[in-house]
Structure 1
Amino acid sequence: MAFVELLADPHVWASFLALSAMEIVLGIDNVVFISVMVSRLPKEQQVAARRIGLLLAFVFRVIMLSFITWFIHMTMPIFSIGEYSFSWRDLVLLAGGLFLLMKGTREIHEGIEGDDQGTGAGPVTGSMTAAVLQIAVIDLVFSVDSIITAVGMADHIEVMIAAVVVAIAVMYLASGPVAGFIERHPTTKMLALSFLLLIGAALVADAFHFHIPRGYIYFAMAFSAGVELINVLASRKPRKANAPKVRRKSQPKD
């Protein structure tokens, strides 16, 4: 189908809008992970790391779309263990889920135990190379679900790439505010890390063909984020009742 015909087809526009919305929703996981990872870097490196991470997310998705015929075969079983059959997609999701569980657990442990305290190498002295490599790994995992969704919702690769571009643009706009909010409110970092554990568990479950509807996961994330936002707003209120009152000394009369 010619490009002009694609633009004139209302079904193409409908699939583009639906796929763009779905890709944006699926990108929430990516934004949370990137925001957590860049929070450990010095401020002068955080913007660059976010840009590199989102660029990698875009590149991985476009490369997979370019080899879409081969990519579809990633869902075909390659071996079985007992009653479970595993495809390349299952193995990627399993590895990514375990990585998120390991990374989330380690970050929570360091945040609570304070392993970095007193060493002069606090959480803002992480390696940019290590952060980018970890972002690249999880970008690859999230790209798998993203492209499988694209294949199921659109018939034209041009529509898929356009939807991916829109999703990455929204992720880019959202990643800065999300990372800034996490940096300004340290308690939200623990919440973000718990989201990573939740997403990691969902990916492992998917690898074993036990699908947890993403709507349940995103609702839980939205509800928790809403409660945390209320806590943040409530903590900003001046606590005049607890503030000590200073009494003025009476001036002596002449």
Structure 2
Amino acid sequence: MDGVLSALVSLATLTFLESVLGFDNVLMVGLNVNKLPPRERPRARTIGMTGAMVMRIALLCSLNWVMGLTSPIIVVLAHPVSWRDLILIVGGAFLVWKATHEIYGEVEGDGHHGHGGQPERPVSFRRVIGEIMVLDIIFSLDSVITAVGMAQNLAIMITAVVLSMAIMMKFAAAIGDFISRHASFKVLALTFLVLIGVFLVIEGAGQHVSKGYIYIAMVFAFAVELLHMRRRSKAAQRAAATRAAQAESGREVA
């Protein structure tokens, strides 16, 4: 009985942790999917999230290989570097470049034109899926190593991954649609992807930084932006009411 209870507690804890740590994965998928026409987004979102789940399960089933990635292969400036470190550094740098490029397009462009005012080429479905899969590898590796450190039972780890991905898929569409409708939140989400990319590079360089700091800052920034959005909405309503009252007053005078 104690063994069953311990397994359930481990499963619940790991599922919660994987769901929280997977939010950056959901954010990345949502931002990439929103570049596609609306009719293609659900399919791309499903492929992206399913790919992340399959990647995690495949890595969990190759535990010896995954843990071998943490073994040093070279030494740079007296610091041992493993394949995991290299993957995190390269993946983090790619994420920083990608998010920075998207921020530039949002700030300097209008979403329909590229550099120099030229019409931007439509983003292909394959390209979006390819980018999602590349970043899935990075996030999956980090997630699986966390899972291995939290639990010893392969069945528990795989079940937790499946449950956490099901939870994330449930909210992925809503998160993506919300970001798509609100440009300020899109830029905010992109800045956090830059921060996560920097975190991955630092982690790969051997300096551990708790993701908790990133998530606390993310929640705070999103809460502040929600308050700003609420204030703008109220101001717009008051302005509309004032214009309506002025128009009504003008008709009465006439």
Do residues 156 (structure 1) and 139 (structure 2) align?
A: no
Aligned to 2:50: 55
- Given the two structures, how large is their TM-score scaled by the length of structure 1? 0.91
- Which residues in structure 2 correspond to 1:1-254 (within 5 Å)? 9-114=4-109, 116-117=112-113, 119-121=118-120, 125-237=122-234, 238-241=236-239, 243-244=242-243, 245-246=246-247, 247-250=249-252
Equivalent AA in structure 2 for residue 172 of structure 1: M
Deviations 1:97-121 (A, max 9, x none): 0011000110011111117436554
Q: 1:6-44, CA deviations, whole angstroms, 9 ceiling, x for partnerless residues?
A: 9x6111111111110110011111011011101111001
Distance change in 2, residues 1:183/1:80 (3 Å): same
Q: How many residues end up aligned between the 2 structures? A: 245
3-state SS in 1 of match to 2:237: coil
> How far apart are the structure 1 equivalents of 2:55 and 2:137?
6
AA aligned to 2:48 is: G
Amino acid corresponding to residue 16 of structure 1 in structure 2: L
Gaps of 5+ in 1: none
Contact 1:12/1:159 (8 A) holds in 2: yes
By how many angstroms is 1:250 displaced?
4.8
- 1:146-202 CA distance string (max 9 Å, x none): 111111111110000000001100110111110110111111110010010000000
1:241 Cα deviation after fit = 4.5
With structure 2 as the length reference, what TM-score do the two structures score? 0.91
Mark the runs of 5 or more structure 2 residues left unpaired by the alignment: none
Match for 1:48: what amino acid? R
The CA deviation string for residues 214-239 of structure 1, in whole angstroms up to 9 with x for no partner, is 11111011111111122222222243
Question: Separation in 1 of the partners of 2:77 and 2:251?
Answer: 84
| C-alpha RMSD of the superposition | 1.9
Structure 2 counterpart of 1:207, one-letter code: G
Kindly, what percent of the aligned residue pairs are identical?
A: 38
- Greater helix percent: which structure? 2
SS in 2 for 1:239: helix
